[in-house]
């Protein structure tokens, strides 16, 4: 029996990176997984490899959420886990950030996470409980000059999560909501950022593991194990917590 056997889980932004790792791990541990992403080709590929469903979605599009959640409830009769993972990151400090970058970043992270919580809540209440897992970042806990809009969005996700958790506590219907705060993890997003900020091409290194260690990067499964724990009933008494996965980056 897997740790999330019998559960139905949606993972957004699951075509690559952390979302892909989450989806693979949840599926391997027995969940029926629905992946969503704007990248249809890669998303469908991952879904077919793990026997999951794929739904093409821009998380900032509210209408897509109603269609997604209604469809999951019609096909599976329950929704137990939502991982609000989809994200984007522009490298731009407060002076470089344009209104377009600001609005786009907040739309994907904050609108997307809000819509996810909003539409999943009713479905989870009907399902007898559930776990909403919001992907924040250590950027929500410290100041990162080159990630101005991103940090603001992740800070919003952190506090939004606590409000949802407080609501869940009051509802007493078994729904929980927690945020996950990874440090730097080796994904395409971070590879692109490292290339931009440090002139470092991770993909061209012959010994990727050595490079990862030298830069202090975690691997996607470091976060996926946390997501698995929060998705499972092992964490049934954890609600409104901020789970930091950064190998101590934010304590030194």
Ligand X SMILES: NC(=O)c1ccc[n+]([C@@H]2O[C@H](COP(=O)([O-])OP(=O)(O)OC[C@H]3O[C@@H](n4cnc5c(N)ncnc54)[C@H](O)[C@@H]3O)[C@@H](O)[C@H]2O)c1
| 150 labelled catalytic | yes
Please say which residue, 127 or 222, places its beta carbon nearer to ligand X. Answer: 222
Cβ 228 vs Cβ 5: under 8 Å? no
Distance, in Å, from the CA atom of 24 to the CA atom of 75, rounded to the nearest integer, reads: 21
Please say which residue, 60 or 131, places its beta carbon nearer to ligand X. Answer: 60
CB of 105 to ligand X, least distance (A): 10
Please, what is the Cα angle at 131 between 83 and 79, to 5 degrees?
A: 80
Please say which residue, 17 or 130, places its beta carbon nearer to ligand X. Answer: 17
Name the site residues for ligand X (rule: CB under 6 A).
12-13, 15-19, 37-39, 57-60, 85-89, 108, 135, 137, 182, 184-185, 187-190
CB of 74 to ligand X, least distance (A): 22
CB of 75 to ligand X, least distance (A): 20
Active-site choice (119, 147, 150, 167): 150
Please say which residue, 127 or 148, places its beta carbon nearer to ligand X. Answer: 148
User: Any residues with CB less than 8 A from the CB of 52 and at least 6 apart, and which?
Assistant: 23, 27, 32, 33, 34, 35, 46
Helix axes 40-50, 17-28, angle to 10 degrees: 20
CB of 204 to ligand X, least distance (A): 18
User: Any residues with CB less than 8 A from the CB of 119 and at least 6 apart, and which?
Assistant: 65, 66, 68, 69
User: Any residues with CB less than 8 A from the CB of 235 and at least 6 apart, and which?
Assistant: 131, 176, 178, 229
Q: How far is CA 145 from the centre of its chain?
A: 22
Catalytic residues: 150
């Amino acid at each position: 029996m897997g740790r999330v056997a019998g559960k139905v889980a949606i993972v957004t932004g699951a075509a690559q990176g952390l979302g892909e790792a989450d989806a693979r791990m949840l599926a391997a541990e027995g969940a029926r997984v629905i992946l969503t992403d704007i990248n249809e080709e890669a998303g469908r590929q991952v879904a077919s490899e793990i026997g999951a469903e794929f739904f093409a979605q821009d998380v900032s599009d509210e209408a897509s959420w109603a269609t997604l959640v209604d469809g999951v409830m019609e096909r599976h009769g329950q929704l137990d886990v939502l991982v609000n993972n989809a994200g984007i990151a522009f490298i731009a400090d407060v002076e470089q950030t344009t209104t377009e970058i600001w609005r786009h970043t907040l739309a994907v992270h904050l609108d997307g996470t809000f819509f996810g919580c909003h539409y999943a809540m009713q479905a989870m209440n009907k399902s007898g409980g559930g776990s909403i897992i919001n992907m924040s970042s250590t950027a929500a806990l410290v100041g990162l000059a080159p990630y101005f809009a991103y940090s603001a969005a992740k800070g919003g996700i952190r506090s939004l999560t606590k409000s949802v958790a407080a609501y869940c506590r009051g509802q007493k219907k078994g729904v929980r909501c927690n945020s996950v705060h990874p440090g730097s993890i080796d994904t395409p997003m971070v590879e692109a950022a490292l290339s931009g900020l440090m002139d470092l091409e991770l993909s061209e290194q012959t010994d990727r593991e050595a490079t990862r260690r030298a830069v202090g990067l975690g691997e996607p499964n470091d976060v996926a194990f946390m997501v698995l724990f929060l998705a499972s009933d092992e964490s049934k008494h954890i609600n409104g917590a901020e789970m930091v996965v950064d190998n101590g980056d934010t304590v030194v």
